[in-house]
Structure 1
Amino acid sequence: RVQQLADDGMIFVNGKAAKSSLKVVSGDEICCDVPDDRPVDILPENIPLDILYEDHDIIVINKPKGMVVHPAPGNYSNTMVNALLYHCKDLSGINGVIRPGIVHRIDKDTTGCIVACKNDKAHEAIAKQLENKTCHRVYKTIVVGNITHDDGLVDAPIGRDPRDRQRMKVTEENSRDARTHFHVLERFNVATYLECRLETGRTHQIRAHMKYINHPVMGDDKYGQPCPYMDTQGQVLHASELTLVHPTTGETMTFHAPLPEYFEKLLNILRKRVA
């Protein structure tokens, strides 16, 4: 249990995120964000899934906008986990009954590639790749304002905002290193279309980093403001590509999720404004 909290970045020693292997000494200050742990029954639900790939070890999903990845207090149904429990006979149990199969997450309104594991061996292998930064994730996003340079790196630690625990912020206190590489794909009058590559995988990393450089993700009312050009709200952020090494075959595999309709529609609106 403590190891899982550490792996989730919820234990801090002397203001820094601590791994489960860290040895503490007398005088260390230890802080922990403990989530609600009331026992609940997570039920299978017949929810359609857009499956990009599936075998005996892993399943790769193109997650739609508005779908929560796993149950949490106040939201125990209609999640991707509920759908996976219905679709799959087995899922890894390393993350417990609330998060079976889940080895990484993307936010509710973020769309695109996410991998789940069907057994503990696969889970451990993919988790190790994420830890060693050999599992590569590419995102597409549209941010507010014009970014003038074609390429950049945001290298700034991220931790929970003490004034709002549902938000993350760039801070030196109770934080973890975070690095986001970005490349400009297209510029508009009021926005910039970016490709972002994660070197680390912190909660809300792209959203917090774009806010930090004063170019918040469009539609992100948590870190910016709603988008006036969209009917559908929520951050314009899409996990377009996922590369991993298959846990059994050793094959390097890359999965692609096409841009969702709302994203393409927004791009066309912004292009017309340029014209």
Structure 2
Amino acid sequence: MPEFNVLHADATLLVLDKPAGLLSVPGKGEDKQDCLSGRVQQRFADARVVHRLDMATSGLLVMALGAAAQRSLNAAFASRQVHKRYVAVVAGLLAPPVTEWGFIDLPILLDWPNRPRRIIDPQGQPSCTCWRVLKHDPTGQTTRLELEPVTGRSHQLRVHLQALQHPILGDALYGTPASLVKANRLLLHATRLELTHPVSGQAMVFSSEPPF
């Protein structure tokens, strides 16, 4: 398993680059205890979880240092003051939206009998994603997208793109057999993170290039 990278560290927060295949937090079972938060806490004892990335997703993730910083960052995420962007490669040639950015507004519900899968359902939580086309690959019949989640539901980007019938390549939960075999990992990477430092008030922007 590749080690995580620390992109920024100060007395209040850490910005990390998580590899694909590493849990953000411990799961259930002895075989799911190795995770990013546990590894980070071996180096930064007071590191605390603020948000998560799916195990199969790589890219930028923030952790707080101390309870006060955790409360402040949790409030910033809850009030949507933290802005995240992702890059994904999806199956098929997805037509660009009429304007530069398209908007997916579809509620997401836990598919309880098939958890951890999520589904689109009118009874689900409101879920919104902005997206735009970066590049088409006519030969491979794929599309590279930039994604900005407005809400932060579990599996949101993956479920929304499946709903467009353009699943992310390598997605074992939401892909088709054809899209799954086109990549040896989920092609989803948290590439940009914008936030305000909870102590200094400084605007901070971090970036990480997708490894695909």
TM-score by length of 1: 0.71
1:228 counterpart residue number: 181
Q: Residues of 1 paired with 2:74 and 2:21: CA distance? A: 25
1:176 counterpart residue number: 125
Percent identity, aligned pairs only?
Answer: 29
| Equivalent AA in structure 2 for residue 243 of structure 1 | E
Q: Residues of 2 paired with 1:227 and 1:171: CA distance? A: 24
1:78 aligns with 2:34: yes
Map 1:161-200; keep pairs closer than 5 Å.
161-173=111-123, 175-189=124-138, 190-200=141-151
Q: Residues of 2 paired with 1:76 and 1:67: CA distance? A: 9
Count of residues in Structure 1 that have an aligned counterpart in Structure 2 = 203
1:244 aligns with 2:191: no
**Conserved? CA contact 2:7–2:15, under 8 Å:** yes
| Equivalent AA in structure 1 for residue 8 of structure 2 | Y
Map 1:84-163; keep pairs closer than 5 Å.
84-91=40-47, 101-150=48-97, 151-163=101-113
Structure with bigger strand share is 2
Larger Rg: 1
Residue segments in structure 1 that go unaligned for 5+ positions in a row: 1-46, 92-100, 264-275
- The Cα of 1:149 is off from its aligned counterpart by 2.0
Which of 153, 160, 167 is 1:202 aligned to? 153
Counterpart secondary structure, 2:39: helix
- The Cα of 1:52 is off from its aligned counterpart by 0.8
Counterpart secondary structure, 2:49: coil
| Equivalent AA in structure 1 for residue 149 of structure 2 | L
After superposition, the C-alpha distances for 1:191-225 in whole angstroms (9 at most, x for unaligned) are 11000011111000000000111111111021013
Counterpart secondary structure, 2:160: helix
**Conserved? CA contact 2:170–2:180, under 8 Å:** yes
More displaced, 72-81 or 185-194?
72-81
Q: 1:165 to 1:76 in 2, by over 3 A?
A: closer
Q: Residues of 2 paired with 1:229 and 1:130: CA distance? A: 34
Could you say what the CA RMSD is over the residues aligned between the two structures, in angstroms?
1.4
1:58 counterpart residue number: 13
Residue segments in structure 2 that go unaligned for 5+ positions in a row: none
- The Cα of 1:76 is off from its aligned counterpart by 4.3
**Conserved? CA contact 1:68–1:107, under 8 Å:** yes
Counterpart secondary structure, 1:133: coil
- The Cα of 1:130 is off from its aligned counterpart by 1.1
Counterpart secondary structure, 1:163: helix
| Equivalent AA in structure 1 for residue 165 of structure 2 | N
Q: Residues of 1 paired with 2:159 and 2:36: CA distance? A: 24
- The Cα of 1:125 is off from its aligned counterpart by 1.2
**Conserved? CA contact 1:51–1:60, under 8 Å:** yes
Counterpart secondary structure, 1:70: coil
Q: Residues of 1 paired with 2:130 and 2:37: CA distance? A: 30
Q: 1:146 to 1:76 in 2, by over 3 A?
A: closer
Deviating runs (4+, > 6 A) in structure 1?
Answer: none
**Conserved? CA contact 2:170–2:182, under 8 Å:** no
